[in-house]
Structure formats: structure tokens, C-alpha cells
Structure 1
Amino acid sequence: MLLLKIILLTLLAGMSMPLGAMLARAEKIHPRWLEQELRHSIIAFGGGALLSAVALVLVPDGVQHLPTEVALYWFLLGGLVFMLLDVLLNRFKTSASQLVAMLSDFIPESIALGAAFALGGSNGLLLALLIALQNLPEGFNAFRELRHSSHYPANRIILMFTMMALLGPLAGVVSYVWLADYPAVVSSTMLFAAGGILYSVFQDIAPQARLKRHWGPPMGAVFGFAFGILGHMMLAA
């Protein structure tokens, strides 16, 4: 029963990517300043949701079963690995780079989700919600970038995002089945993902969210984090 729950939650979280792409495809907003502000606010909202996942789930759960120096090692290693991947993607700029960048977020998130259920408690559900909230603006933004940087038709991009979403259940189930009996490994996995996600927020999401002489996007990040706090408090209650 728990495996089925993990499959469904990781699938729903992943399906936010093609849903975001469909919203971007249908987007027809005027005037242009409002379109720009909405787009940047959506990106910032995803960043806020990711920060709340790191602050409220991944780090608090990850440090429970590890000594301080080991916890810091895995957290910093996650950031370093994501940085190296970012360098490689920047060097080999192709239309596939955007897809790889999305997977580099989603796969560790799905692994961390399976790990959260392996630790027990209700944080797995909260993490699934936050991943879904983050994947929606990421799919939205990635669709727009792929449409401008490649010759892929819209339907093909949405199909690719849908196929990527199917990797989430696989990663989540493998993580849960293999790691359930090893809490220290689960904690290491969650901290590794947290370090990588934090790198991505400040390298990719936050710079894209900024818009000169507009103040809506930063509030989008605040609302994204607020959703994380709301979910955390509701589940705790």
C-alpha cells in the first residue's frame, strides 16, 4: 500500500512538469509588462517552494541520523555535484541541456521523496506537494525556453515532459525499497538532494525571477515558502 502511495505521489509531482508546459502554451496575457511579471512570479514561487522543502523537510530529517561532520559533507557534496553538472551543461549547450537540467532536479527530489517515506512520518506527503509546486513553474519556464531555442513542436515538448515524469515513480520506489533499512543512507541522500536543490535555487531560479522595477516576483517566492509552512503546520497538527 505504501509503495502504491509513493508511485502515485511521485507521478503526480512529476506530472506538474507537462501541466506547466500546457499552461505556458496557452498563455496569452496582455499587456506585456503583466505577462513578464506573472512569468517571473511563477518562477519565484517555485523557488520559494523548493527553499521550504530544503528548510522544512530535507535538512531537518536528514540531520537526524548523522553526526555533524558527515551531514555537512553530504550537503556540500550535493551542491558541488550540481555545480559540476551545471558547468558541463553550460559547456555543451544543446536543446537537450534544458531537459537534463530538469531531470537533475526531479530525479534527486524523487529519490529524496522515497527516502522520506523510508524514514516514516508525514513529511513524505509534504515533500511531494512541494515538489509538485516547484515542477509546475519549472515546466512552464522550460517549455518557453525550448520553444525559443529549438525547433520542437509544442506537442512533442509536452510529450517529453510527460515521459520524464514517469522516471519519478521509478526513482522513488527504488529509493524506498533499497534504503528503508538504512536510516543513515536515507539521511545522506536527503542532505545531498538538499545541497543540490539549494545550489539550483540560487544559480538558476533566483536570477531568472528577478525583474527590474517590479516587486511581484519576490513576493512570489514568499508565497511559495508560505505554502510550505502551511503544509508543514497542517500535517504536524
Structure 2
Amino acid sequence: MTEVDRKKPFSSLEKDLFLNIIQKYDTILTSKQTNATSALKKKQSWEKIAEEFNESSIVTQKASTKQLIKLWYNMKAKARESKTKENIRHLTGGGPSVVDMDSIDSKVMDIDKNILTNIAVDIDSDIDGNIVLLGDSNNEAWCKTAEETIQVSQEEKEINFKTPIKKSYDNLRSNKIDTLKCKILEEELEFKKKMHEEELKMKILEREHKENLFKIEMQIKLKELEKHYQE
């Protein structure tokens, strides 16, 4: 199939079609194996994906295999970024209601489960706001008799939040968020590294394919010359 260079941006319908096709080959494309057999299967899968995509009546302009591979990487990067923002917003307590993940992002995440590894962050009792405040026998927040139930009023909690306990809570929360951001950055760098490795493998396979075609063409021409001289 002759490779073409698409000029128009991909529409939402085309992206949805593309993901539907990708799903048929998700086991191969998301495989973590790096051997030659796996790389060849991925190359063949991408050729089939491009062929099926370009044959669809939904497609307004054909795209090359390279362009579709780049589209897939871009869609994964966008889904990863949206999910990361959503996770950070939930951890930091929200803010204005914002829709980070759209239907395309969700579909991409469903296809490739390795896009964003779940990061486990330990949330201590004081992180979620349920702080237990302690006092001595002279503290008015405590009942003066051993028989009565010990309770702390909401008003006294708010006062105690202004003490170093509140400062410690803020520092701990900030450290948790910084740790999460560092882990996300490390995963982002690892993700980009894998993308770069995949691109290099595709280029190597493409070059080997061209070399093999050139050898075959040379063999055909040599046979034609031999036949010509024999005549």
C-alpha cells in the first residue's frame, strides 16, 4: 500500500473509528516483549490498522502508518496527562468541578492498561482531616471525671488547628503531594522512553524491509540480464 501524508486533523469520528480498530490488536500493541518476533508482529499489525482505517467511508483523508502510530502515541500521552491531573486534583482536595477525562481518553485507558500505573499514596489519619487531638487532665476539652466520656468539641478543634499540629498537617500533606508529583514525573519519563524505543524499532524494521525489497529487485534484474544474454 502506497504511503500517503495526511494534512487534515483527525475528527472525533475518525479517532473513535481508529480506537475501535486498535482494540482488535491491543494484545499485540500493548505487549511489553521487546524481541524481534514481537516487533515484527507490531509492524504487521500497524500495516493492517492503516489499511482498515483508510478503507473506511468515515475517513475524509487517508493517513500513513507513521501518522497513525504518532496519533496513537499522542492519544496515549493526552489520556495520561488528563488522568494525572484528575488524580492530583482529587488528592489536593478538588477545587472547581473540571472534566479532565473525555470519552476518547477513557477508551484509550481501557485499551492500554499500562499507560498510567496506579500510584499508592499512604494517607494517614491526619491527612483526611480526622485528626485526634489529645490533652492533659487540665484541658477543658476533657471531662474532669473518669466515668464520663472524653470528647472534644468542634469549636475547640478549630482552635487547636491553629497550633503547630495544623502546621505539621500542612507540611505532611505538602510532602505527600510532592512525592506523588515526583513519581508521576518518573513514570512520564519512562513512558516517553518506551515510546522512543518503539519508534526506533519501527524505523529499523522499515529499513530492513526496504533492504530486503532492494535485494529482491536486484535478484530479479540479474535474472532478467542472464536470460537476455542467453537469448
Whether the TM-score (by the shorter chain) exceeds 0.5 is no
TM-score by length of 1: 0.29
Higher relative contact order (CA 8 A, sep 6+): 1
- Which is higher, the Rg of structure 1 or of structure 2? 2
Whose helix fraction is larger, Structure 1's or Structure 2's?
1
TM-score normalised by the chain length of structure 2:
0.30
